[in-house]
């Protein structure tokens, strides 16, 4: 299994890096493939950032807990507003992703714009549906993140097709998720 440190395991701090786990011999072979035979896991892209990586590992459980707590809040509030959500707020969770079914392309786009608006970085940016490699439909994405691509921070995206489902991820802090989602709902529904 392989993963990225700019996602959950990096706690929102790691700017580069990845990990490989599994049987020792297979991990070793993979490390040779990623670097060079004989070098393997003895080197990697740290770019003087080991302290951030270790701090990310240290904070990852708390950050992941905040993201899950935020997803539960999202599920509860959107279900209360009459939208289909998955998983439900009281379901067992195995992932950080929360889906919201808008059944309306305009509401979905507006929601993504509001997520961006209530983000700490690039809050002045207004996302628009765009073609994206690997997708048949245009995709809307919002992510006002400190680390580019770090969906653990707080982001949403979704393909522009019925039933107009958006996928929300992350939240470094529960407070940010609660403030952003509450304000987005206020502007979108009231």
Q: Kindly report, residue by residue over 28-86, the tens digit of the pLDDT.
A: 888 777 777 777 777 766 667 677 778 888 988 999 999 999 999 999 999 999 999 99
State which residues form the domain around 46. Answer: 2-52
Which of 52, 70, 87 is at the close of a domain? Answer: 52
Residues 15 and 106 in one domain: no
Q: How far is CA 77 from the centre of its chain?
A: 19
Q: Does 85 share its domain with 70?
A: yes
Provide the CB-side half-sphere exposure for 108 (13 A, CA).
26
User: Based on the domain organization, do 25 and 67 belong to the same domain?
Assistant: no
Domain of 185, CATH number, reads: 3.90.1150.60
DSSP 15: -
Residue 7: how many other CB atoms lie within 10 Å: 21
Say how many domains are in the chain.
2
- 126 & 159 share domain: yes
Residue 151 has pLDDT above 70, yes or no: yes
First-to-last alpha carbon distance for the chain, in angstroms, is: 45
24 and 72, same domain (yes or no):
no
pLDDT at 11: 66
Percent of residues, the chain, with pLDDT higher than 90: 61
What are the strands of the beta sheet with 155-159, ordered from one edge? Answer: 84-86, 98-101, 165-169, 155-159, 139-142
User: Which SS3 state, helix, strand or coil, does residue 158 take?
Assistant: strand
Q: What is the mean pLDDT of the chain?
A: 89
Cα gap 140→129, rounded to integer Å: 4
């Amino acid at each position: 299994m392989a993963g990225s440190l700019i996602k959950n395991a990096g706690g929102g701090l790691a700017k580069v890096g990845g990990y490989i786990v599994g049987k020792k011999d297979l991990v070793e072979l993979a490390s040779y493939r990623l670097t060079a035979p004989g070098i393997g896991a003895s080197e990697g892209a740290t770019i003087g950032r080991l302290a951030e990586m270790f701090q990310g590992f240290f904070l990852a459980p708390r950050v992941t807990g905040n993201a899950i707590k935020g997803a539960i809040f999202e599920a509860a509030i959107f279900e209360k507003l009459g939208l289909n959500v998955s998983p439900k707020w009281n379901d067992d969770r195995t992932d950080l992703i929360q889906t919201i079914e808008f059944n309306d392309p305009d509401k979905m786009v507006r929601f993504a714009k509001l997520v961006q608006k209530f983000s700490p970085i690039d809050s002045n940016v207004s996302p628009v549906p765009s073609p994206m490699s690997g997708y048949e439909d245009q995709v809307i994405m919002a992510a006002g993140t400190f680390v580019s691509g770090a969906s653990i921070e707080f982001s949403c995206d979704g393909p522009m097709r019925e039933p107009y489902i958006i996928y929300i991820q992350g939240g470094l802090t529960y407070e940010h998720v609660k403030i952003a989602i509450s304000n987005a709902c206020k502007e979108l529904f009231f």
